[in-house]
Amino acid sequence: MSELSELYQQVILDHNKKPRNFKQLEGANRTAEGFNPLCGDQLTVYMLMEEGVVSDLSFVGTGCAISKAAASMMTQAVKGKSREEARTLFDEFHRMVTGELDEEAEPNGLGRLTIFAGVRDYPARVKCASLPWHTMHAALEGEETVTTENLGPNITEAALAE
């Protein structure tokens, strides 16, 4: 197993076993629920927006290790960001996992989140990694629910077409 693959497994397992910000957030003023019927992932994102900044962010839910780890790391990455910075991270993450962003060649703010770049090689897992991000984006935009079935073009089909 390569060092990068081993690191990926360690980070995913750590965030799955001990997810950060895994709680119902008291005082949240935005909430969204996300569902991935393909894998069975379900999560709720709680957000506290203050003066255009995501001052706190958490999640609760059940799902596969990739989904839970992505949600855990997403809360860490987005907390403290402005609305626009959160939107940019959402866009960069989505483009990375769907293969539209070359995270090594293009400047981006993903940092440790690039650990999820490999899911683009496993089309069925793209939705697992992106569901927390779509749910956070829904909360950011004041939407209450998101499902991987209604994210526009089917992410899995788009990844398979490449």
Helices (H), the chain: 3-17, 65-78, 83-97, 123-140, 155-161
Q: Looking at residue 4, what is its pLDDT?
A: 58
- In this prediction, residue 154 carries a pLDDT of 40
| Residue-level pLDDT at 8 | 74
Query: What digits encode the pLDDT tens for the residues 17-70?
Result: 999 999 999 999 999 999 999 889 999 999 999 999 999 999 999 999 999 999
Tell me the domain boundaries of the chain. Answer: 3-161
Mean pLDDT of the residues in the chain: 89
* CA 48 – CA 26 distance, rounded (Å): 9
Check residue 162 and give its pLDDT: 35
CA atoms within 13 A on the CB side of 63: 33
Task: Tell me, yes or no, if the pTM score tops 0.75.
Answer: yes
Q: What fold does the segment set 3-161 form as a domain?
A: Sufe protein. Chain: A (3.90.1010)
Nearest C-alpha neighbor of 155 from the set 89, 102, 94: 94
The CA radius of gyration of the chain, in Å to the nearest whole number, is 15
pLDDT for 124: 86
